[in-house]
Amino acid sequence: MSKLEDKKKRIMQESLKLFAEKGFHTTSIQEIASTSEVSKGAFYIHFDSKDDLLVEIFKYYSETIMEKLNRMEHSSDDPFETFTNQIAAFLDLYKDHKEYLLMHFRDNIHLGDKMDDLIRSLHKQSYDWMEERLRNIYGSQLSVHMTDIIIQVDSLLSGYFKWIAIHHLDFDSTHLASYITHHINLMIQDVLQENAPPIFQYQDLTQFNEKDELAIQENIDALYEKIARLSEQDKQEAKEAIQVLEEERTKQKPKRIIIQSMLQHLETHEELQAHVQNIKKYL
């Protein structure tokens, strides 16, 4: 890490302590600079504003969390044990970065579109990560109940983080993770046994759907660009497949078998596979 990156990280770490102690809005840039042992001018080398600093803090800690969780993806052959290990690692990270947790519960921070977009993106990332973990453990039987279950799991985790932060509770990460995943399993077994109609489903999450639509369109646009590399016959067939895909998606009741068939055809071309796989994630 360069000296410049060291200073940037130091500013983020020291500012977090101040935000947790005093609050985001009452902490000045001069205080951040003084505590970080840099000049006010040096602060502006790394960040455009205090708002920009906070966005960078969210990005940095979110990336740190996901990197640690991904490193533990194969910590066990048992997906439930892996999930428990990842929750323990998640708890360890919050234990090591209490200031980040405290900031969440101290201030109701709204910084406009840039921050709102980041929060929505992180929220979607969190949903996708949890959905993949639960599918690995329970398979497709959860599909219809997935959104309700993720909401309840999020509530359970958030509740613990809130009480830990407010009351400065000490805990053993491994023990608490086992307790949490045990009760998640009990809740899921109860939902599956009862098999009542779901309260919410993925399509109800309008913020996700808007973001998904943008991501799908970006990948469709990329497909149109990439087919230029194909032979004339392959290019024409791929173009027709993309057009059918677009037309079917806009129908009031799109036929999934047609969409899947078009994607399957496009995926036969190596140049298009990455974008096809991206589209599949959002359908």
Kindly report, residue by residue over 102-132, the tens digit of the pLDDT. Answer: 666 555 555 556 666 777 778 888 898 999 9
Q: Any long-range contacts for 22-26 (C-beta under 8 Å, 24+ apart)?
A: 23/106, 23/107, 24/50, 24/54, 24/103, 24/106, 24/107, 24/109, 25/107, 25/109
Domain ranges of the chain: 1-47, 50-194, 205-281
Q: How far is CA 140 from CA 126, 176, 258, in A?
A: 19, 27, 21
For 230, phi then psi, to 5°, come to -85, 165
CATH H-level, domain 1-47: superfamily: Homeodomain-like (1.10.10.60)
User: What letter represents residue 124's amino acid?
Assistant: K
CATH architecture of structural domain 50-194: Orthogonal Bundle (1.10)
Cα–Cα distance, 44 to 46 (Å, whole number): 5
Query: Which residue bears the tokens 């000490």?
Result: 170
Residue-wise pLDDT tens digits, 211-255? 678 788 888 999 999 998 899 999 999 999 999 999 988 887 888
pLDDT in tens, 39-93: 999 999 999 999 889 888 888 888 888 888 888 888 789 999 999 999 999 899 8
pLDDT at position 106: 57
- Spell out the alpha helix ranges (H) of the chain: 3-22, 29-35, 40-46, 50-71, 79-96, 98-106, 113-138, 146-167, 173-194, 206-226, 232-249, 256-266, 273-281
Q: Give dist(CA 234, CA 242) in Å, integer.
A: 12
